[in-house]
Structure 1
Amino acid sequence: MEIVGRVSGRRRWSDAEKLEILAEAFRPGARVCDVIALREVSSSLIYTWRKQLREGKLAGATPSLPVFAEVQLAQPVVPASRPVPCAPERIDIELPSGVRISVDGEVDADALARVLSVLR
């Protein structure tokens, strides 16, 4: 029977090993949590090493990991809408059947109700 356990105590990682693990963790499509489990390294170390890489503190490293780019949003260009030609004293009514009725703004409400009831 073989018992495999975690390495106890502190491990020392060379800069080359750190770079290899970082490249593996941050390649397109990779999941950092999978690399953490596979390599038995803590997530805090991965992100500490990434920070060191960005700051140029790892020997023989050229910062090749993706970095965030600044994005500026421009005001959207809204096309000017054309005004609908309609006299202010006129009421245009379009029924679901497609019938259109135009009446004066001062139309008798009872008379309009009778007309609409007939057209329904």
Structure 2
Amino acid sequence: MEVVGQVSGRRQWSDAEKLEILAEVYRPGGRVCDVIARREVSSSLIYTWRKQLREGTLAGVAPSLPVFAKVQIAEPILPAPQTAACSTGLILIELPSGVRVSVDAGVDAGALTRVLSMLR
């Protein structure tokens, strides 16, 4: 007896399944290659579904528009000697709630994104 690990032929995906798979891709740390292996779906389908979701043609879901934040460039708050000693740079972020976040220019972008999303 032979056990076949993959289904041959075309598979029909419901809109709910497509949205569930896309949700896995969009989770923090989600990677297309991991979802492909776990769900046995081709990468081209995932990219096609992502495009359809952006355009609002997948399951009647309205496309999500990008959210923009107001950015102001301000003079450094730190005294000049400390600023000159810092060779990598300093980024100061002030959120509308009044919360201020100060990070080094070499901060991990993913980590900063997670922190800012929690402070929003």
How high is the TM-score relative to the length of structure 2? Answer: 0.50
Higher relative contact order structure (alpha carbons within 8 Å, sequence separation ≥ 6): 1
Q: Answer yes or no: is 1:33 the counterpart of 2:26.
A: no
Q: Structure 1 residues 58 and 17 mapped into 2: Cα distance closer, same or farther (>3 Å)?
A: same
What RMSD over aligned residues (CA atoms) do the two structures have, in Å? 3.3
The structure with more helix, counted as a fraction of residues: 2
Amino acid at match of 2:31: R
* Unpaired stretches in structure 1, ≥5 consecutive residues: 75-120
Please say which structure displays the higher CA radius of gyration.
1
- Residue 15 and residue 6 in structure 1: after superposition, are their counterparts in 2 closer, same or farther (change >3 A)? same
Which sections of structure 2, spanning at least 5 residues, go unmatched? 74-120
Matches within 5 A, 1:41-56: 41-56=41-56
Task: Give the corresponding residue for 1:59.
Answer: 59
Taking a change above 3 Å as real, the CA distance of residues 25 and 60 of structure 1, as seen in their structure-2 partners, is same
Report how many residues are paired.
Answer: 80
Q: Evaluate the alpha carbon distance shift between residue 62 and residue 2 of structure 1 in structure 2; reply closer, same or farther with a 3 A threshold.
A: farther
Give, in whole Å, the separation in 2 of the partners of 1:6 and 1:38: 12
Write out per-residue CA displacement over residues 77-114 of structure 1, whole angstroms, 9 at most, x where no aligned residue: xxxxxxxxxxxxxxxxxxxxxxxxxxxxxxxxxxxxxx
Q: 1:2 to 1:57 in 2, by over 3 A?
A: same
Change (3 A) 1:67 1:48: farther
Q: Which runs of 4+ in 1 moved over 4 A?
A: 66-69
Q: What amino acid maps onto 1:35 in structure 2?
A: V
SS at match of 2:23: helix
Question: 1:22 maps to what in 2?
Answer: 22
Deviation at 1:60, TM superposition (A): 4.4
